[in-house]
A and B are shown apart, each in its own frame.
Chain A
Amino acid sequence: MRLFFWHSDKGFTLTEIIFSVLILAGTMIPIAAMMGQGFEGTRRDQRQIVAIQLCQARLNQALAVPFDDLVSSTASIASGGQVILPLGDVEQENFTFNVSLRVVDRGVTYSYLPVDVNVANYAVDDPTTWVFGTAETLTINADVAKIATIVVSWMERGTQQNVEMSTFKANLEL
């Protein structure tokens, strides 16, 4: 039996090499495209992670803003000449993110059962003497609570991407 590896005197033909290169190219091009997409996807994920982290950081700062100062804004919020919530454009990881704050007022309604302290045998230290009344609610509609949402937006291939995170803020000074 003849081994064509070692005893062939002609090696590969030009046609073989051309076909080999064509097949290799035909395989490599889709793989390279897929890997390119993979890298782009990783970079896109990285930008989203940065946006989420930015959102978290700003929402933490928003929670520390005094209740009355917490209003919808696209520009930084300052108090006493000092910026307490930086908003607007932020450069991170060679990318520009825009941070804004959206605030919506909301009311609160609290339910409870009152105790009738006017009953004859009522004693503050003896729960067996307490008479609970029917359910009551305390409703406060204005200047009591807000829904604060930090919006981080950036452009991705001509399309605007957003990450939004919300929290509640209660007016504990009320």
Chain B
Amino acid sequence: MNKLTDRSGMALIIVLTMSMFLLVIAVSYIRGNAQSRPINERHFERAQADFLGQGVVQFAAMKFKKRPAEFYYAYRAMRAGLGDAALRAYLNDDTTLNNEFVDQEGQRYEYFTQMQLITNKLYETDGIRIQVTVNQLSDTGTIVLTRVQEHVIEAKRRPL
């Protein structure tokens, strides 16, 4: 009876120790695996936001092509200190340049457009800088990520 008491339980201790060791390895592996998924998801959303930004840049370029004078008037009036009502009407109130896009998965993206006149007198060039900011929104409307697309349309000034 005494001999049995001395020997018994050792295998159990060894097995339990090994089991604990394996469990720790498995848990750490599963945790690491679980953490890798959100990076993958954000990779998709970053790319989607960038593509939306590129598309909206095209819309802004098209607007400038169709209504260049109205932009110049609005921008120069703002720079002359006459208020920014015309520029806000041109940029901020435009529903094509500022809107929301919902993808097939139901993910919401909002985008805003800014345009800026960049003039270089030394090189006799005029340019328009188009900047589109795309935010990916959560279900509650908070911003999850922000991506910015910028494009400059540059042209040599015509001699007077």
> Which residues of A, 13-27, contact B by the 8 Å Cβ criterion?
13, 16-17, 19-20, 23-24, 27
With A48-B40, A127-B77 as known contacts, state yes or no: A169 contacts B22, CB within 8 Å: no
Q: Which residue of A lies closest to B6 (CB)?
A: A4
| Interface bits B96-127 vs A (CB < 8 Å: 1, else 0) | 11000101110000000000000000000000
Task: Give Cα distance in the complex from A2 to B7, angstroms.
Answer: 10
Interface size class on chain A is 35 or more
CB-defined contacts of B48 to chain A, threshold 8 Å: 165-166
Contact between A109 and B96 (Cβ–Cβ < 8 Å)? yes
Give chain A's interface secondary structure class: mixed
Taking a contact as CB atoms under 8 Å apart, the answer to whether A28 and B22 are in contact is yes
Query: Which of A31, A59, A145 is within 8 Å of B22, CB to CB?
Result: A31
Option from B30, B62, B76 in Cβ contact (under 8 Å) with A127:
B76
Known: A27-B19, A59-B51. A110 touches B103 (CB 8 A): no
A128 neighbours in B (Cβ, 8 Å): 80, 82
User: Is there an interface contact between B58 and A115, defined as CB atoms closer than 8 Å?
Assistant: no
Q: Which A residues are CB-close (under 8 A) to B89?
A: 111-113, 135
Please tell me if B23 contacts chain A, counting CB pairs below 8 Å. Answer: yes
A170 interfacial by beta-carbon distance below 8 Å: yes
B-binding residues in A (CB < 8 A): 2, 4, 8, 10, 12-13, 16-17, 19-20, 23-24, 27-28, 31, 34-35, 38, 41-42, 45, 48-49, 52, 55-56, 59, 63, 108-115, 127-128, 130, 132, 135, 138, 144-145, 149, 162-172, 174
